[in-house]
Amino acid sequence: MYNPPVMSIEEIVLALVAMTALAVILVRLRLRRLEAALIAGGAAASFVALRLTFMDIRQAATTAIFLVAYALIALERLHKTTVALAGAVLMLVVGLVSQQEAFHGRGAVDGVDWNTIFLLIGMMIIVNIMRQTGVFEWVAIKSAKLGRGHPVAIMILLSVATAVLSAFLDNVTTVLLTAPAALLVCEALGLDPVPMLMFVVLSSNIGGTATLIGDPPNILIGSAGHLTFLDFLRVDGPIIVIVMAVFALTIKLVMGKRLHVTDEQRRIVAQFRENEAIRDWPLLRRSVLVFGLTLAGFALHGWLHLEMATIALAGAALMMLTHHEGPEEALRDVEWPTIFFFIGLFVMVSALVKAGVVGLLGTAVLHLTAGNVAVMTIFMLWFSAFASSVIGNVPFTATMTALIHSMATTLHPEAADLAVAVHAPNIMPLWWALSLGACLGGNFTLVGAAANLVTVGIAARAGHRISFTRFMKYGVPITLQGLILSTIWLWFLFLR
């Protein structure tokens, strides 16, 4: 006979006290009282519901803290880094995960993925120094000139250039460099810049999916799944080329007859001088060489027996040695909030793993899909896309990598180690479904990816508002295109 769990009086009092304290703190942090009450009440209700169903007190408490952090990150009323670090510290302080487990891993708990952290830092340093040369602005202006003043051709060329840049730079850096060029071109042609800005940011999220270093979710997936730079080029690369080709065709079909400019406006664009964007030719030559060596290192890292983070840091160190201005500016411009956001997420996910919550979720997914690899893969692709559009693709991916680890060990207990289990034939498709779903899903909504918010901010400063619904007007059909094509691609590669 089944005996449902019973909460003690102490647990009920603890939940009420925690709910009240959380509501007061959130109000002090300038959230609206209704928002604070809903989040605090939701956390308490989640704790009670989970406790009375199938979780013990540690599992329910860890899940409740994690859900509160997710809600605050999604609402964006507080900075995501502040929320992630606060959640991580709370889990450490109350003993849901130890510092040793969180920072160095132990048993099933992986802890902070330092390979991901130092890969991000190394690439940020390299890009920060390269940015000083003006080469990325040169690429954007050159793409506009190749369109010879024809709006649709410029939109397509600038979108393709953005996608290519985004495959090797982070998406935020890419749109910071190409969005101003889009505004400049639209001003010269007398066009509404919103469509071109939207195509730029959508292509940035698409292009970043193609490589291991192009989008933060892929960095997380590559490290957790023991996947190489060439693996991403082999699996994600071809489908992203197809998705971009269909995207370009869509731009031509939708915008082809809507945009008209005069010959005088075309001449203005033709007079742009892209070479004037280059501010330091000697540094450009040195940085392109170092960047090329770094990419070669990524491609050969298995043969070299070096981790991706080591290669990225080596490239960063070499870049700083060849940059005579010193490292201060390059280090200052590293996106430290993003780095600490990742660290906070890793700590919170470690607590979920230690409590057994991720294991429970993995078992539930296996039960829901009956262990069928095709069903699991398609479910992972589409669920990742929709979930990423609500809570952001980075926190979602950090959680799902732990979930796939749990599923791999459950399905393959005979594997010698985790690296073998995660490469099992019925697990490998899940990594690629997560990669394509999380990265392409960032285009669904305005909050799906950081690059979306940056682009909207650039547009607002230029006097052009992009609302949540207007973003979805462009984002939803393009995302659905990509997901349908990705479904066919995954079936062709793994499921037929």
The ranges assigned to domains in the chain are: 1-96, 115-332
At 3, is the pLDDT very low, low, confident or very high (cuts 50, 70, 90)? Answer: low
Query: Are 477 and 484 in contact, with CB atoms under 8 Å apart?
Result: no
Alpha-carbon distance of 283 to 288, in angstroms, equals 8
Q: What angle do CA 454, 349, 15 make, to 5 degrees?
A: 100
What is the C-alpha separation between 42 and 341, in angstroms, rounded? 24
What's the pLDDT score for residue 5?
Answer: 66
CA 243 to chain centroid:
18
Residue 493 has pLDDT above 90, yes or no: yes
**pLDDT, tens digit, for every residue of 446-462?**
878 878 888 888 888 88
Instruction: For the chain, give the mean pLDDT.
Output: 88
Cα(24)–Cα(21) distance, integer angstroms? 5
Beta bridge partners of 55: none
Instruction: Give 128's pLDDT tier (boundaries 50, 70, 90).
Output: confident
Output the pTM of the full model. Answer: 0.85
Model confidence at 4, in pLDDT bands (50, 70, 90)? Answer: low
List C-alpha distances in Å: 153 to 30, 137, 156, 315: 46, 18, 5, 36
Reduce the DSSP state of residue 359 to 3 states and report it: helix
pLDDT for 243 beyond 60: yes
Mean pLDDT of 316-335: 84
**Mean predicted confidence (pLDDT) in 306-311:** 90
Lowest-confidence region among 27-31, 36-40, 321-325: 321-325
pLDDT digits (tens, 9 = 90+) for 168-226: 887 877 887 788 888 888 888 888 889 999 999 999 999 999 999 888 899 999 999 99
Q: Which range among 127-131, 273-277, 400-404 has the greatest average pLDDT? A: 400-404
How far apart CA 429 and CA 418 sit, in angstroms, is 16
Residue 2 pLDDT > 70, yes or no?
no
pLDDT for position 101: 93
**Single-letter amino acid code for the residue at 56:** D
Q: Quick: pLDDT tens for 82-99.
A: 999 999 999 999 999 999
Among the residue ranges 147-156, 212-221, 232-241, 481-490, the one predicted with the least confidence is 147-156
In eight-state DSSP terms, residue 495 is: I
Tell me the C-alpha to C-alpha distance, in Å, between residue 211 and each of 93, 281, 305, 432: 38, 28, 20, 12
Amino acid at 194: V
Residue 234, pLDDT above cutoff 60? yes
Lowest mean pLDDT among 108-112, 128-132, 472-476: 108-112
Q: What does residue 106 show for φ and ψ, rounded to 5 degrees?
A: -165, 130
Residue 246: band (very low, low, confident or very high) from pLDDT cuts 50, 70, 90: very high
The answer to whether 87 and 344 have CB atoms below 8 angstroms apart is yes
